[in-house]
Structure 1
Amino acid sequence: MDINDVYKYFDTKETGLSSEQAAGLLKKFGPNTIQRNKKQSQVKAFLKNFTSLMAILLWISGFIAIFAQMVELGIAIWAVNLINGIFSYWQEHQAQKATNSLLKMLPTYAQVLRDGKPKQINSEDLVPGDVFIIQAGNSISADARIIKSTSLQVDESALTGESVLVSKQAEYSHGVGRFSEANLVFAGTVAGSGTATAVALATAMHSEFGKIAKLTQNQKHQASPLEIELNHLTRQLSVIAILIGAIFFVSAIFFVHYPMAKSFIFALGMIVAFIPEGLLPTVTLSLAQGVTRMAKKHALVKDLNSVETLGETTVICSDKTGTLTQNQMTINHLWLASHEYTVTGQGYVNNGHIQLDSKDVDLSDQPDLEMLLRVAALNNDTKVEQPKVAGDNPKIIGTPTEAALVILAEKAGINLESESKKFPRIGALPFDSDRKRMSTFHDVDGKTTICVKGSLDGILPISDTILDNGKLRPLTEADKEQINEADKKYAAQGLRSLAIAYRDASADDSLPDDTKDWTIENAEQHLTFVGLTIMEDPPRPEIFEAVRKCHEASIRIIMVTGDSSLTAKSIAVKIGVASDKARVITGDELAEMHIADLKEALKGEVIFARVAPEQKYRIVSTLQSIGEIVASTGDGVNDAPALKKADIGVAMGVTGTDVAKDAANMILTDDNFASIVAAIEEGRTVYSNLQKFLLYILNSNMPEAAPSILFLFSRGLIPLPLTVMQILTVDLGTDMLPALGLGAEKSEPGIMKQPPRLRTAHLLNRGIILKAFAWYGLVASIISTVGYFFVNHQHGWPNVALAVSGSVYQEATTMTLAAIVFCQIAAALNCRTKNSSIFSIGIFSNRRIWGGIIFEVLLLALLIYVPFLQGLFNTAAIGWQDWILLVCIPIPLVLIEEIRKYFMRKKVRV
């Protein structure tokens, strides 16, 4: 459209809207803000913690216990459920508070023309039809049509993922891909350099930024793998408990000849005993501990269930810029006619010296190098402010490419500020995308020098001479061929080149005397070619180790970037994400690719380059369709749909947009890929700890059931060696704290050398059931039963019949209970590792478990020796000889298990 047609359509003009017009349009279109997902009410958020399948099972269990005349047991189960729900809600509320604080950004402003005068307003008040001014460093708050432009370059990475600045102008031209119209700028992007005036076309949810945000918000919540798994586990445990209850009900009627009502209550007690009341608190605590540990490793998790999902991740779809790389364009090679250098020392931090080929360089005897750095410093509109706090990133006011040149020059001792004063700029020919270069005019000791930088194909054709060892000589065809070969060599490595040249204008009579009359045609000719600066966004130093860990853990990394194919593959190969044989698929190829072909491609080594937002979403959903658990990273609004679709969406906390952070499950506060790997390790640890808890809590069910089995199969001749209240003591008293301690166990050695668990694998598997019931549980059953008969033997059995009541019976049941507790002490220690020796991780390294062990021994002592509790729990005092026997129980159990683990490790090594 002609710009006048745009003015007419929006009822505006070059001098902007009137205040009255703007107020009316603000009422019509609403504030210029991106709407976030409707937040769940706090009441619903609170109640959901009491309505999971496991929570419902516990509510029912409490009711059954009360119905079975075990009121104390029922109330205790309900109390555990209530406390867990409150704790779970508080943990998620704290995580959401942290996220909200991270999403709060300083208010942004827009410089608009209202009533024909410049006026600064809050960007929320910007409306379609507003004419506003764009300057370097400004966030652009609306989709807009450019009216006037002076060397405007825009960072559109929030929309495209492409880190290279895009030139914008008033004249229309269409580039490659989405958002490439030269005369349009978009909300959510940032002006890197230059200035412009533009008329707003669309704001808020009507902007391209808003449309993608809306696409993200329309996606429905899907249950996490942990939620699905816990529901499956609940059904498993319910079936096991009901089956056992049914067996005991029938046995009580036919073996003991109990009345039906009494048999039913007896069976209900067994059902309650086999339900692990501590499961939900342990799950919640394990997840909360994982969240806390992740926060210390720069990963902020928004909801607890996401922690475990991380541990299942099989594929990471990762951005390149800022995640795998430092997002700091850095010069790493210099090409001069006299020498080719490798620059050592990466990043934007100015350490005061330059190293070339790993040696400190003095510019006094390097005239070619000095000229290259001086031209690069003078032909520059960017400032780099070094951080005041160590570890912070420098602040760049301008473009990343120019920042790399500034830093390189300053490392060599050429200060941009002093150079600008010494050689003041007296004119310029700004950069444009057609000629691909920029020229500045400087007064050098009374003489005028033209400094030029740009693409090689924009500078080499207009160069006549070349600087070689401080002297000028004609630029020959052989020189040009050599320069082009060098450029191709670096391009093949995915590196970008920038050519540097100059012209001594004072020695040229062909130029007008007044620099105001210098033009592109007469000034940018007869240049002296100085050299090439070769740059890249270097990989993060820690990325190599993080990638190695992923490979060891059988986690694939697929780079999905808006950058070019060459650059993407170069970085992927360099950091080990892919090999030279990896297939690179561009966005254009992907658009034409059939779903079956894409599935096949995703099974091998693949890199995606120049992709659009909906294509990243397609990659993630296709991976999920072939059974992968996908973590996807992103920072721009273009990444939000994929972040929402992925099993784990990982947003960048430093460079990420609000939309990306809202869509993600996890936010990296340092934008570092290595933090994802650390978070995956924590996720695996959480799942491993839940299995350790299950093993620990289920193995006590066997010795709890054994007394009832003896009672039933002896047809009542052997009195119940354990009462229902004593079973409650184990389930909700002595077992609880050590079990919670297992939930806080640190990562077991080698956890990141194992493949991710299969989707078909379950928390409660055959190995855990066999170990819980046929090994730990069976041994504890035998020991506790021996304890029961040991006390009766001290009082004359088998010559005297087993006591069915009185002090001897109470002492015998107390010994049974105490033996179970001390077997559980050994089980708590044994469950800390799967196959590793407990001594290798430090037998006293988990203070929570030892705190739980001390607590359960003290609780047992109170139940045994406090008269009030003796009557309630049917216990009696035992002698010091009995305590010696009890204390000795864990020692052989731990040593026997250590021997078993030793042979298991040896078997794995073989």
Structure 2
Amino acid sequence: MPRTAGGPPPAVADGHHVGTADLDAPLERLWHELRSGPEGLDERDAARRLRVQGPNTLPTRRAASWPRALGRQVVHPLALLLWAAAGLAFLAGTPVLAVAIVVVVVLNAVLAFWQEQHAEHAVAALEAYLPARTRVLRGGVAREIPAAEVVVGDVVLLTEGAAVPADGRLVAGAVEVDMSALTGESVPVARRAGAHPPGPLLEAPDLVFRGTTCTVGTARAVVTGTGAHTEIGRIAALTGHVEHRESPLEQQVRRVAWLIAAVAVGTGAAFLPIGLLAGLSFTAALVFAIGLLVANVPEGLLPTITLALAAGVRSLARHGAVVRRLSAVETLGSTTVICTDKTGTLTENRMRPHAFWSAGGGRGDPERDAAAAPVLARVAQRCSDADLPDPARGTGSGDPTELALLAVAAAAGLDTRAAGRARDRRADHAFDPVHQRMTTVDDTPDGLAVHTKGAVEAVLARCTAIRRGRDVAALDEAAREEVLRATDGLAAEGLRVLALAGRPATAADLVAPREEVETGLVLEGLVGLLDRPRASVPPAVARCHAAGIRVHVVTGDHPVTAEAVARSVGIGVHGLRVVGGDELARLRESELDALLATGDEIVFARVAPEQKLRVVEALEHLGEVVAVTGDGVNDAPALRRADIGVAMGASGTDVAREAATMVLTDDDFASIERAVAAGRRVYDDVRKFVVYIFAHAVPEVVPFLLFALSGGAIPLGLTVLQILAIDLGTETLPALALGREPAEPGVMDRPPRPRSEGVIRPRMLWRAWGLLGVTSALLTTGAFLLVLLRGGWTPGAPTGPGTALHPVYLEATTATFVGIVACQIGTAFAARTEHASLRSVGLGTNPLLWWGIAFEVVVTAAFVYLPVARDVVGTAPLDAPTVALLLACAPIVWGVDEVDRWRRRRRTTGTPSPDERRTP
């Protein structure tokens, strides 16, 4: 079946459609199909095609209407809940509080909208891979034109360092192309004009693709696809069709919002008939129903969650991880699988000499033993066009492979500066992807010499002898087998193996053709180059394993190389599978699911972008929360589809960075582990806040129930204005401080929580309502009745304005108000930890909480002792003994919870259950 580079070319300017270009066809037929020729197009034809085909640019997704995007934020369930709170506050006669809640809703909507817009530029960033200008043949004349004006049928001139402007087929010459942006493979690949055997499109030896770069050689290519009809265009389409989905936290917060709304509305609705049956007037019952609704609406929930996530974003930014969407912080905390790229993520993306081999000395270390192979080191020094001015640091300019070879020469004490080499070079034959060799003729202290380097098979075929120590022996069949075995051994370690050879030269070699110069060579040895794993990766992988996170490698690189790197960093210590792209393509969906469900870590090698996307989708189908790392164009679809896409900031492409939700500015895999810990901490903090706000709802509701059930015999122990003063005044800062709580000990020693696990669990409700809430309600109700009884009140006695007991009633409601605040303080300390003791967490590890409590105490004192505030809220001054009694509520509430946690620790004998390991 004909193959196309990203799809069929568009119609040409004369109105006839150019059918799907048969890239397997002979070149003559391809010229006919494209209506072009070796001289390129003429200007008129090119202009017509440009008008019909359109510019050589990538299509962009139509952006959503910003009013609609902003509107989604103000109708979020939490936002709707806050709108309801604002309406209730207005009905309760407090328009100032209503306006304040509306401001909170608007600010949160704007912040969420701004964060969402950052995720919509992945396709646009692909344009960074289109070179600004390129050289083409127009009517046989070389011209430089804007790359956007390249059309199908153009003949493009490719030279060293030039970016490929469109997909095409080579018609002359040979080049090496950096394909890492498309395939993830770090080693440049050879492309040459000539045969076009069947096989995978990206591996065709005469095809080049937009978004890649020529590193060596010169060639001409006829354009077969532009714009959307290219490989990079196809990837752009994949990326553009992957829609953003809600994170686990966004889904769970939505459920919590509806739960809270149901509780608030249900409680208020239930109170209305109860109040009427108890003998209250309809107006009084309605007012109290509104009070119950206000008591159950957590006005600070949405801003606290937002600020907790924002704090996580700032914390990660200080450690080299920039998060583009707030909810991504929490998503990292629930990650169960990381699909990581190899090149530039696990490795440094820089070639270095790892080993060398010689027939006389066997294997050696380039840094320690290079001086023992002086002729081999001299070939590495002379046969190079790179420059290594600072051997101590290994810095320089030029081809990464040649820089690695120069490091061998530097270790042997040889001069690696390009200026010295240029002075002694008498002739050279540049590296040619067809021959896969480079040869120079140089002046040396021993006279003229030929130096050759290249692929083992290419160099070995030109050798007739081999060096064994100081002697030179004939290269017989046994010696060739020895060399090939050594090559296989180095390659099995994931090394790129090059052969180095040479011989004495004569004056005839200075003018002889290449084929004559590269004969009769003496094989000096082999050099194995390694793209080394980052030093920080093995411990980071170990920490991920300790946290119950599996790590799969998904790369376009060679299976042997990918497996070697994976094992070197600790991936697959409990079982490793290697699956090639061809094998993956043959697997049915059920078979892929079964493979991923085995529990082994897997190396997926030689995979296409669609296959990487398929792996991610299969993992998510199995219920995994997937983080994908990558740095190339080929990673963009999977980065956008994953629950959390992690791009490399320093070495990564703009495409990957724009498609990802998190960017590692330091390219350090260890930053992912830190981000996971931060995400788990944020999720835990959200749960702590939920426990905190749920707990004080009970003592706020109980006074209304007592009043209604007693038919008014027990006066209302708390007013609506006092509830609002608590919910929007004293509660706010401690709640925000809990959103900045440090991680509890052992946060990375527990397994990831299941995707289905909600923010609220039964244990949390029992703790908030049954333990902390009931304890607080008993204490505050007891204080209310104690103050009333002490002032001479009896059940049913009138306490309204103008009665003798009214001052006592005001003091009693004030005691309830202050008691709830004191219980809030105790609850705040209790909520800091779920399983561990407060002492293990440390009293001073969250200074913001202390500041929040100080603010809470000051605001409460103002409501109680400032005349203006007393008149608004309806409070009265309390005497010192009553205040002392109420302040004791804080340690009592905390102490009850501390005893309960101690009991659970004793029950589990130091081994927390799975449910307890997931800290709320």
Please give the TM-score of this superposition, normalised by the length of structure 1.
0.89
Shift of 1:693: 0.7
Please say if 1:226 is aligned against 2:227.
no
Q: Distance in 2 between matches of 1:126 and 1:65?
A: 64
Aligned equivalent of 1:110: 134
Please say if 1:636 is aligned against 2:659.
no
Aligned equivalent of 1:351: none
SS at match of 1:248: helix
Shift of 1:261: 4.3
Q: Distance in 2 between matches of 1:516 and 1:772?
A: 90
Aligned equivalent of 2:537: 543
Assess, with a 3 A threshold, how the Cα gap between structure 1 residues 2 and 196 changes in structure 2: closer, same or farther. same
SS at match of 1:845: coil
Please say if 1:243 is aligned against 2:266.
yes
Matches within 5 A, 1:195-594: 195-254=218-277, 256-341=278-363, 343=365, 354-356=367-369, 363=371, 366=372, 369-383=373-387, 397-398=398-399, 400-414=400-414, 415-428=416-429, 430-433=431-434, 435-445=435-445, 447-475=447-475, 478-506=478-506, 513=508, 515-520=510-515, 522-579=516-573, 581-594=575-588
List gaps (5 residues or longer) in structure 1.
345-353, 507-511
Q: Distance in 2 between matches of 1:100 and 1:888?
A: 61
Q: Distance in 1 between matches of 2:446 and 2:407?
A: 27
Shift of 1:678: 2.0
Instruction: Give the AA of the match of 2:807.
Output: S
Shift of 1:715: 2.6
CA contact (8 A) 2:122 2:659 kept: no
Instruction: Give the AA of the match of 1:111.
Output: R
Assess, with a 3 A threshold, how the Cα gap between structure 1 residues 738 and 103 changes in structure 2: closer, same or farther. farther
Aligned equivalent of 1:649: 645
Instruction: Give the AA of the match of 2:557.
Output: D
CA deviation vs aligned residue, 1:68-117 (integer Å, no higher than 9, x gap): 65655544433332333234345556888999999979974323445765
CA deviation vs aligned residue, 1:495-530 (integer Å, no higher than 9, x gap): 332221112133xxxxx825333332x333322121
Instruction: Give the AA of the match of 1:32.
Output: N
Assess, with a 3 A threshold, how the Cα gap between structure 1 residues 87 and 615 changes in structure 2: closer, same or farther. closer
Instruction: Give the AA of the match of 2:871.
Output: G
CA contact (8 A) 1:335 1:341 kept: yes
Please say if 1:840 is aligned against 2:835.
no
Assess, with a 3 A threshold, how the Cα gap between structure 1 residues 640 and 540 changes in structure 2: closer, same or farther. same
SS at match of 1:753: coil
Assess, with a 3 A threshold, how the Cα gap between structure 1 residues 395 and 557 changes in structure 2: closer, same or farther. farther
Assess, with a 3 A threshold, how the Cα gap between structure 1 residues 100 and 719 changes in structure 2: closer, same or farther. farther
Assess, with a 3 A threshold, how the Cα gap between structure 1 residues 355 and 719 changes in structure 2: closer, same or farther. farther
Q: Distance in 2 between matches of 1:12 and 1:20?
A: 13
Q: Distance in 2 between matches of 1:459 and 1:107?
A: 35
CA contact (8 A) 1:637 1:660 kept: yes
CA deviation vs aligned residue, 1:450-502 (integer Å, no higher than 9, x gap): 21222333333443333233333344555444433333333333333222111
**Greater shift in the superposed pair: 539-548 or 303-312:** 303-312
Q: Distance in 2 between matches of 1:105 and 1:184?
A: 18
SS at match of 2:168: strand
Please say if 1:39 is aligned against 2:66.
no
Q: Distance in 2 between matches of 1:532 and 1:305?
A: 51
Q: Distance in 2 between matches of 1:617 and 1:291?
A: 27
Assess, with a 3 A threshold, how the Cα gap between structure 1 residues 257 and 675 changes in structure 2: closer, same or farther. same
Assess, with a 3 A threshold, how the Cα gap between structure 1 residues 91 and 648 changes in structure 2: closer, same or farther. closer
Shift of 1:888: 4.1
SS at match of 1:763: coil
Q: Distance in 2 between matches of 1:98 and 1:3?
A: 36
CA contact (8 A) 1:562 1:611 kept: yes
SS at match of 2:584: helix
SS at match of 1:144: strand
CA contact (8 A) 1:826 1:891 kept: yes
Q: Distance in 1 between matches of 2:855 and 2:574?
A: 59
Q: Distance in 1 between matches of 2:154 and 2:480?
A: 50
CA contact (8 A) 1:425 1:441 kept: yes
Shift of 1:732: 1.3
Query: Which residue, 77, 81, 86 being the options, matches 1:53?
Result: 77
Q: Distance in 2 between matches of 1:27 and 1:908?
A: 77
Aligned equivalent of 1:677: 673
Matches within 5 A, 1:890-901: 890-901=890-901
Q: Distance in 2 between matches of 1:371 and 1:518?
A: 24
Query: Which residue, 161, 170, 181 being the options, matches 1:137?
Result: 161
CA contact (8 A) 1:432 1:438 kept: no
Shift of 1:614: 1.5
**Greater shift in the superposed pair: 370-379 or 797-806:** 797-806
Instruction: Give the AA of the match of 1:273.
Output: A
Shift of 1:21: 5.3
Matches within 5 A, 1:721-800: 721-797=717-793
Q: Distance in 1 between matches of 2:281 and 2:395?
A: 81
Aligned equivalent of 1:349: none
Assess, with a 3 A threshold, how the Cα gap between structure 1 residues 8 and 214 changes in structure 2: closer, same or farther. same
SS at match of 2:465: strand
Please give the TM-score of this superposition, normalised by the length of structure 2.
0.88
Q: Distance in 1 between matches of 2:895 and 2:147?
A: 69
The share of aligned pairs that are identical, in percent, is: 38
Aligned equivalent of 1:509: none
Assess, with a 3 A threshold, how the Cα gap between structure 1 residues 93 and 477 changes in structure 2: closer, same or farther. closer
Assess, with a 3 A threshold, how the Cα gap between structure 1 residues 411 and 711 changes in structure 2: closer, same or farther. farther
Q: Distance in 2 between matches of 1:262 and 1:858?
A: 32
Assess, with a 3 A threshold, how the Cα gap between structure 1 residues 528 and 766 changes in structure 2: closer, same or farther. same
Assess, with a 3 A threshold, how the Cα gap between structure 1 residues 45 and 844 changes in structure 2: closer, same or farther. farther
Q: Distance in 2 between matches of 1:889 and 1:160?
A: 64
Instruction: Give the AA of the match of 1:370.
Output: P
Aligned equivalent of 1:155: 178
Matches within 5 A, 1:27-106: 27-67=51-91, 71=95, 74-90=98-114
Aligned equivalent of 1:348: none
SS at match of 1:490: helix
CA contact (8 A) 1:96 1:302 kept: no
Assess, with a 3 A threshold, how the Cα gap between structure 1 residues 28 and 425 changes in structure 2: closer, same or farther. farther
SS at match of 1:223: coil
Q: Distance in 1 between matches of 2:97 and 2:219?
A: 74
Shift of 1:748: 2.3
Instruction: Give the AA of the match of 1:378.
Output: R
Instruction: Give the AA of the match of 1:625.
Output: H
CA contact (8 A) 1:316 1:557 kept: yes
**Greater shift in the superposed pair: 538-547 or 587-596:** 587-596
CA deviation vs aligned residue, 1:300-351 (integer Å, no higher than 9, x gap): 222222222222211111111111111112221121234345538xxxxxxx
Instruction: Give the AA of the match of 2:631.
Output: D
Q: Distance in 2 between matches of 1:786 and 1:101?
A: 65
CA deviation vs aligned residue, 1:877-904 (integer Å, no higher than 9, x gap): 2234444444444334445544444454
Shift of 1:118: 4.6
Q: Distance in 1 between matches of 2:131 and 2:729?
A: 53
SS at match of 2:279: coil
Instruction: Give the AA of the match of 2:456.
Output: L
